């Protein structure tokens, strides 16, 4: 049978990093098995669902390169079907009408908790004569769940998980206003969409027992389930804002490359020997559920950042150029003309060796676009001693005679250092300060060459 997996987020705000990993695993699983990957937006809660949130999800997935094979299914469009199935279950005796009020249920829960019991519906309408129904009260439809025995889930990650049916109550599948509940619509949709593998967060594991009961009541074939552990923050608690970025689009803003984020997310909770860095094709080739761990893992921003550095170094210069220009565009202190752009482009092969995020890359490139006078970092200003300025004037003369290729610059600098009896560092650091306003930059010959003779000499002139 052809594999069909799906990612089914509810559009209630942002695309969480944990959800993104769930989506990635579903995508990789489907691709690995030559199957299909679908997207279903679970927007049945009209109070919380917004169109903007749906866009955030789609945009986030697109950025990560996790693209569904079909147009997304909106769960809200399928509510009539969900109700239809609920009524079928009513007709077949697998469900019944419950006339309890919200207040009645609240009391039931409180009393159970007070008595140290599990807060469950007591089944008071399960076998009651519908003729006793209070007038004017619209009933909710409840699943007539099996009372004895147990429900078993053969989970591809968690192995066999079982629970006594006595632990489960008769859950509502259709609300009194005729709308379906989550567990019900998920089952109906997964069945109707022909989903073969349900891969989702661990937090759904206990829902699965109830969902299995619906499959059984309808006589539908069960999909294979796989519950992957959640991602936690560095302190082991549920990942939230206070741990740092959690929204996928936030990572984009902070200068992470989608392939780095995917690589990191893949290795979080999944392993394949000693492999750390693997691209999309390799991930598809190697990914399977048996490599997924069972314990929750903690988000480690340092490791993500390290991976990001690797991907930035590998990235295409023109692509990085676009990213940097975009990030520098809002800076009013820069003069981002074609000359500046050309300088950045020229130095990009050097710059990208040193940046771990696109934000760092843009910052490191900014000096190339800065009009004179250059702002000086305190450390750089300290380098420009009176003696250093004298050296700079002499070097400027030597440099002016070269054709300004990195090789000729390097030769001129070395020659100057040798003939004046100085170390290269004594020559390079004042130059770096004058040229960049900083004490850290790419190699001085490449920096000079990228700046061009005219600009470079002007910058030296400006400080001497």
Q: Which is nearer to RNA, 1 or 159 (CB)?
A: 159
- Is the CB of 150 or the CB of 335 nearer to RNA? 150
Minimum CB separation from RNA for residue 315, in Å?
Answer: 14
Stretch that binds RNA, among 100-108, 250-258, 328-336, 385-393 (CB under 7 A): 100-108
Site for RNA in 220-259 (CB under 7 A): 230, 232, 234, 236-238
Contact with RNA (CB under 7 A) among 271, 337, 371, 397? 271
Minimum distance from CB of 337 to RNA (Å)? 26
64 vs 100 by CB, closer to RNA: 100
Footprint on residues 312-351 left by RNA (CB under 7 A): 313
Using CB under 7 A as the binding rule, whether residue 109 contacts RNA is answered as yes
Site residues (CB under 7 A) for RNA, limited to 386-425 = 410, 423-425
Q: What is the 3-state secondary structure (H, E, C) of the chain?
A: CCCEEEECCCCCCCCEHHHHHHHHHHHHHHHHCCCEEEEEECCCCCCCCCHHHHHHHHHHHHHHCCCCCCCCEEHHHHHHHHHHHHHHHHHCCCEEEECCCHHHHHHHHHHHHHCCCCCCCCCCCCCCCHHHCCCCCCCEEEECCCCCCEEEEEECCCEEEEEEHHHCCCCEEECCCCCECHHHHHHHHHHHCCCCEEEEEHHHHHHHHHHHHHHHHHCCCCCEEEEECCEECCCCCECCHHHCCCEHHHHHHCCCCHHHHHHHHHHCCECCCCCCCCCHHHHHHHCCHHHECCCCEECCHHHHHHHHHHHHHHCCHHHHHHHHHHHHCCCCCCCCCHHHHHHHHHHHHHHCCCCCCHHHHHHHHHHHHCCCCCCCCHHHHHHCCHHHHHHHHHHHHHHHCCCCCHHHHHHHHHHHHHHCCCCHHHHHHHHHHHHHCCCCCCCHHHHHHHHCHHHHHHHHHHHC
Q: By CB under 7 A, which span of 24-32, 63-71, 81-89, 171-179 interacts with RNA?
A: 171-179
Query: Cβ distance 108 to 118 under 8 Å?
Result: no
Catalytic residue among 238, 241, 303, 379: 241
Contacts (CB under 7 A) with RNA, residues 80-99: 98-99
Quick check: 73 binds RNA (CB under 7 A)? no
Based on CB atoms, which residue is closest to RNA, 158 or 213?
158
Q: Is 443 in the site for RNA (CB under 7 A)?
A: yes
Q: Does 306 bind RNA (CB under 7 A)?
A: yes
Among 91, 148, 295, 378, binds RNA (CB under 7 A): 295
Show the site string, 181-210: x = touches RNA by CB under 7 A, - = not.
xxx------------------xxxxxx---
123 binds RNA (CB under 7 A): no
Q: What is the largest CA-CA distance in the chain?
A: 109
Question: In the beta sheet, which residues pair with residue 38?
Answer: 6
Report the nearest approach of RNA to the CB of residue 193 (Å): 15
C-beta closer to RNA: residue 13 or 336: 13
Neighbours of 164 (CB within 10 A): 11
**Residues contacting RNA: total by CB under 7 A:** 92
| Closest approach of RNA to the CB of residue 332, in Å | 26
352 catalytically annotated: no
Least Å distance between CB 71 and RNA? 19
- Match 């893949």 to its residue by tokens: 266
The one among 161, 321, 359, 381 contacting RNA by CB under 7 A: 161
Interaction with RNA in 27-56: which residues (CB under 7 A)?
42-45, 48
Nearest residue (CB) to RNA, 106 versus 322: 106
**Shortest Å, Cβ 341 to RNA:** 22
- Shortest reach from residue 75's CB to RNA, in Å: 7
How many other C-beta atoms can be found within 10 angstroms of the C-beta atom of residue 108? Answer: 16
CB of 301 to RNA, least distance (A): 9
Judged by CB under 7 A, which stretch of 21-29, 114-122, 325-333, 455-463 contacts RNA? Answer: 114-122
CA distance 209 to 368: 61
Give the active site residues.
241
């Amino acid at each position: 049978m052809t594999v069909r997996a799906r990612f089914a987020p509810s559009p209630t705000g942002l695309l969480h990093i944990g959800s993104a990993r769930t989506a990635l695993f579903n995508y990789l699983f489907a691709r690995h098995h030559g199957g299909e990957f679908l997207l279903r937006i679970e927007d049945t809660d009209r109070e919380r669902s917004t169109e903007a949130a749906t866009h955030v999800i789609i945009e986030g997935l697109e950025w990560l390169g996790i693209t569904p094979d079909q147009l997304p299914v909106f769960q809200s469009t399928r509510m009539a079907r969900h109700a239809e199935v609920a009524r079928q279950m009513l007709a077949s005796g697998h469900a019944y009408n419950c006339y309890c009020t919200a207040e009645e249920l609240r009391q039931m829960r409180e009393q159970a908790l007070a008595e140290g019991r599990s807060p469950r519906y007591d089944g008071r309408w399960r076998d009651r004569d519908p003729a006793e129904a209070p007038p004017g009260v619209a009933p909710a439809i409840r699943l007539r769940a099996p009372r004895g025995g147990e429900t078993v889930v053969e989970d591809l990650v968690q192995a066999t998980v079982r629970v006594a049916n006595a632990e489960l109550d008769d859950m509502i599948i259709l609300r009194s206003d005729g709308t379906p509940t989550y567990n019900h619509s998920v089952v109906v949709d997964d069945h109707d969409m022909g989903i073969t593998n349900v891969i989702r967060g661990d937090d759904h594991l206990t829902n699965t027992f109830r969902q299995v009961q619906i499959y059984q009541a309808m006589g539908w074939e069960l999909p294979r389930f796989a519950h992957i552990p959640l991602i936690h923050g560095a302190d082991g608690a549920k990942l939230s804002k206070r741990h740092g970025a959690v929204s996928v689009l936030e990572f984009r803003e902070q200068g992470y490359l989608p392939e780095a984020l995917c690589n990191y997310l893949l290795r979080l909770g999944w392993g394949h020997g000693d492999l750390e860095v693997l691209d999309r094709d390799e991930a598809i080739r190697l990914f399977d559920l048996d490599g997924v761990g069972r314990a929750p893992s903690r988000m480690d921003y340092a490791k993500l950042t390290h991976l990001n550095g690797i991907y930035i170094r590998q990235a295409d210069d023109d692509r990085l150029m676009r990213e940097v220009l975009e990030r520098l565009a809002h800076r009013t202190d820069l003069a981002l003309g074609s000359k500046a752009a050309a300088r950045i482009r020229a130095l990009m092969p050097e710059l990208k060796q040193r940046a771990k995020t696109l934000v760092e890359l843009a910052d490191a490139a900014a000096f190339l676009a800065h009009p004179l006078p250059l702002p000086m970092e305190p450390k750089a200003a300290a380098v420009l001693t009176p003696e250093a300025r004298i050296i700079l004037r002499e070097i400027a003369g030597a440099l002016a005679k070269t054709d300004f290729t990195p090789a000729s610059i390097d030769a001129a600098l070395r020659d100057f250092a040798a003939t004046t009896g100085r170390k290269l560092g004594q020559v390079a650091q004042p130059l770096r300060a004058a040229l960049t306003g900083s004490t850290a930059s790419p190699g001085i010959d490449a920096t000079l060459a990228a700046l061009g003779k005219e600009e470079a000499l002007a910058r030296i002139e400006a400080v001497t």
